[in-house]
Structure 1
Amino acid sequence: MAFIDSHCHLDFAEFDASRTQLIAQCQQHSIDKLIVPGITLAQSHALIAFAAKYKGVHIAAGLHPYFLAEYQPSHLAALTEFAEQHQPQLVAIGECGIDRSIDNLALQTQIFEHHIELANQLALPLIVHHRQSHDLIAQSFKRCKPKFGGVIHAFSGSMQQAQYYIKQGFKLGVGGVITYERAQKTRSVVAALAAEHLVLETDAPSMPLAGFQGQINTPLQLPLVFEQLCQLKQITAPYKADFKKQLYESCSALFRI
């Protein structure tokens, strides 16, 4: 059984010199599916050709709050038109969300709720970014309930927050954060959750694992995330294959890939 990296930005410039080789290495190491989120309108458009070029790449379309400076009011209608036109090529809507480190929370909320409505319209899951904003995301979910679940990318929160998202139909993205001893809250929550509620991710080129700080992160680190997760959950060698299969099927079922 292989791995799925449920969140990696392989189209970023950090991979321009190594992308073809890297994706080939992923296939060789049984990391056979790679989900690349949308972050801006232009980049979401470009992902159509990107996915067609590289084996195992699946894509989403979205407007990430980090790029709010590029946002124009016409982008929501344009995103909807694009997603409707290319629905068969999309496995999700996002990366979208709310980030308290960025100004204009009201606009972020408006854009996020548009993504929820669009995902509902197209029967697609969401890829949700958060930063100090679980309460704001919950408020948006109350106003505009997601119907097809999704992933809470790079989940870091309490067990109560994890259970809330699970009840909303979401899975929790587990990546390099769990390799850091200081992330005790996240590690303990993830350790207590069943495989069906988790998906593996790297967020490459960001979020390097402990011991790899300062290096470009890649999907090739996904097996190390898996091993750390097994350690946290005290899953021993005889049971790792079944656990790996459960994680793969959890992700595959969510994104229908």
Structure 2
Amino acid sequence: MMLMDTHVHLNAEQYETDLSEVIQRALDANVQKMIVVGFDRPTITKAMELVEQYEFLYAAIGWHPVDAIDCTDEDLQWIEELTAHPKVVAIGETGLDYHWDKSPKEIQQEVFRKQIALAKRVKLPIVIHNRDATDDCVRILMEEHAEEVGGVMHSFSGSVETAKICIEKLNFIISLGGPVTFKNAKMPKKVAAEIPLQYLMLETDAPYLTPHPFRGKRNEPSHIPLIAQEIASLKEITVEEVAKVTTENAHRLFYKIK
């Protein structure tokens, strides 16, 4: 049974002292490929170092909406140049985050649009971060014709109706993580149960969003089986089928992964 963690921050400072052990635990749990997400200069640089070091790691690189105010055209040019690397498989995470007020909404939207255009130029899928901004996020993706490259709604917490719009109109996949295992997480459970498996992927967003029963502790990619098992239970299918189909979905979207 092969699993993939399609969104993990192994480049985070939380792993500085024991990264090799974290990676080994993931491999022991059949998490055989992982996409490390970089979202600013330091995290992108670290992600690129990691993909050179480990053959089963890949990178998604972009600029986080919270820090959009710090993003320059030079930063985006640098990201575009890095996409020539064979292990850079996506643009992002990018999107909109209206929860924090560091970057004004109009600046977030401008940087978001620029990254969608970048993704279309380099023909890579987009990894979307959306917090408290669903209507604007979906509208901008449609206006910029993001369906031409497709992408993933990372750590999706929206409704079944929104998920269907993203799938049908934007050519996107829905990614579920630790929150689907939370007892009070009605929306992710409903999405996991009702959205067809061929439109779902697995992620941890580690070191964040740790699944039950480890909630409150540092997350890591070895917890992917817990997410797969919860989705299997909600769909009343085997965890092996969840692993097989979600991994196939990830390979189809992130076509550069070998």
TM-score between the two structures when normalised by the length of structure 1: 0.92
Aligned to 2:89: 91
Amino acid at match of 1:215: K
Aligned to 1:151: 152
Aligned to 2:211: 209
Aligned to 1:255: 254
Of 140, 148, 170 in structure 1, the residue corresponding to residue 172 of structure 2 is 170
What is the SS of the residue equivalent to 1:187?
helix
Of 221, 224, 227 in structure 1, the residue corresponding to residue 223 of structure 2 is 221
Of 182, 189, 192 in structure 1, the residue corresponding to residue 191 of structure 2 is 189
What is the SS of the residue equivalent to 2:7?
coil
How many residue pairs are counted as aligned between the two chains? 252
**Structure 2 unmatched ranges of 5 or more:** none
> 1:25-84, CA deviations, whole angstroms, 9 ceiling, x for partnerless residues?
22222110000112103422332221111231100110012334543453233333333x
CA distance in 2: counterparts of 1:46 and 1:218, whole angstroms: 17
Aligned to 1:24: 24
**Structure 1 unmatched ranges of 5 or more:** none
TM-score between the two structures when normalised by the length of structure 2: 0.92
CA distance in 1: counterparts of 2:158 and 2:27, whole angstroms: 32
Amino acid at match of 1:223: P
C-alpha RMSD over aligned residues: 1.6
Percent identical among aligned pairs is: 29
CA contact (8 A) 2:27 2:222 kept: no
CA distance in 2: counterparts of 1:45 and 1:16, whole angstroms: 15
Measure how far apart 1:188 and its partner are.
1.0
CA distance in 1: counterparts of 2:223 and 2:197, whole angstroms: 19
> 1:173-201, CA deviations, whole angstroms, 9 ceiling, x for partnerless residues?
11111111211122112211111100000
> 1:200-229, CA deviations, whole angstroms, 9 ceiling, x for partnerless residues?
000000001133232100011110111111
CA distance in 1: counterparts of 2:215 and 2:192, whole angstroms: 22
Using the TM superposition, name which of 69-78 and 153-162 deviates more: 69-78
Aligned to 1:109: 109
